[in-house]
Amino acid sequence: MTTTHPPSSQLDRGRGALILVLGILSLVMFGLLTGIPAWIMGHTDLRRMREGSMERADEGLTRAGMILGIIGTVLSALALLIIILVIVGILSFAGIMIFETAAIKMQERAIEAHLHALAREASAWRLERGTYEGFTIPDELKDTDHESYSARVSRDEIMFRGSATNRRGSIEVTMDRDGNLTDWSYFGAFAEHDRTDFLDRIVHFPSSHSHEQHSLLVPFARVVYSI
């Protein structure tokens, strides 16, 4: 069976020049925006040329434009994927840092509150005996799940120390003869986080003297803190 083609005067004109321009633009500027049209238009026109319904005069331009469009599309897609992966990585790292900071803040406040509880025990001891000498931390207050506590006692002064057991960090405070806690000192992980920085405002942890509610980040912080 013989296939007949319409006369050349009745064939559609090719779009080789347009496809080539779109392909070039996909490499130098517009990427997917012109690469995909160049790819689709080039594929369509080459098929029509093979079928005999389009002039073949622009076949070379059409093929070149389509190839450039394919290259531009692939390169743009890879670049977009890399950008997305970088953004996701940055956001993930920032999230981990925020939640880790939240966990440290929570533990810091827990140690501060525990040191206040020890100070109340020591005050009651001094009120009965007139001196701090002989005071020891009660066994039920000496250790918690993630902290341990110690005291260096003299007649009129106690230096309390609370140390984290799940990370490097400790807090020291001195209790004077009047029962006041002074000279708070923060070490390790607790010293590395400025308590006035923006993360503290984001996490919104109240001080050990406050009864404010924690922010919504706190449940997530508790998970990190408990690890």
Helix orientation angle between 32-51 and 59-129, rounded to the nearest 10 degrees: 150
194 has pLDDT over 80: no
What mean pLDDT do residues 34-40 have?
94
Tally the domains of the chain.
2
Per the prediction, the chain carries an average pLDDT of: 83
How confident is residue 208, by pLDDT bands cut at 50, 70 and 90? very low
Residue-number span of the structural domain to which 31 is assigned:
10-87
How confident is residue 199, by pLDDT bands cut at 50, 70 and 90? very low
Is residue 157 one of the residues assigned to a domain? yes
Q: Which residue has the higher pLDDT, 199 or 20?
A: 20
Could you tell me which of 146, 151, 175 has the C-alpha nearest to residue 161? 151
What mean pLDDT do residues 169-190 have?
93
Q: Which residue has the higher pLDDT, 154 or 2?
A: 154
What mean pLDDT do residues 161-186 have?
92
220 has pLDDT over 50: no
211 has pLDDT over 70: no
Q: What is the pLDDT of residue 192?
A: 65
217 has pLDDT over 70: no
Co-location of 145 and 202 in the same domain:
yes
Which of these three, 87, 119, 144, is where a domain ends? 87
What mean pLDDT do residues 205-209 have?
46
24 has pLDDT over 90: yes
* pLDDT one-digit tens code per residue, 92-145: 999 998 888 888 899 999 999 999 999 999 999 999 999 999 999 998 889 888
173 has pLDDT over 70: yes
Q: What is the pLDDT of residue 222?
A: 47
Is residue 2 one of the residues assigned to a domain? no
CA-CA distance, 145 to 47, in Å (whole number)? 73
Co-location of 123 and 211 in the same domain:
yes
Helix orientation angle between 16-28 and 32-51, rounded to the nearest 10 degrees: 150
64 has pLDDT over 70: yes
Co-location of 60 and 134 in the same domain:
no
* pLDDT one-digit tens code per residue, 71-87: 999 999 999 999 999 99
37 has pLDDT over 90: yes
Which of these three, 59, 87, 115, is where a domain ends? 87
Co-location of 209 and 115 in the same domain:
yes
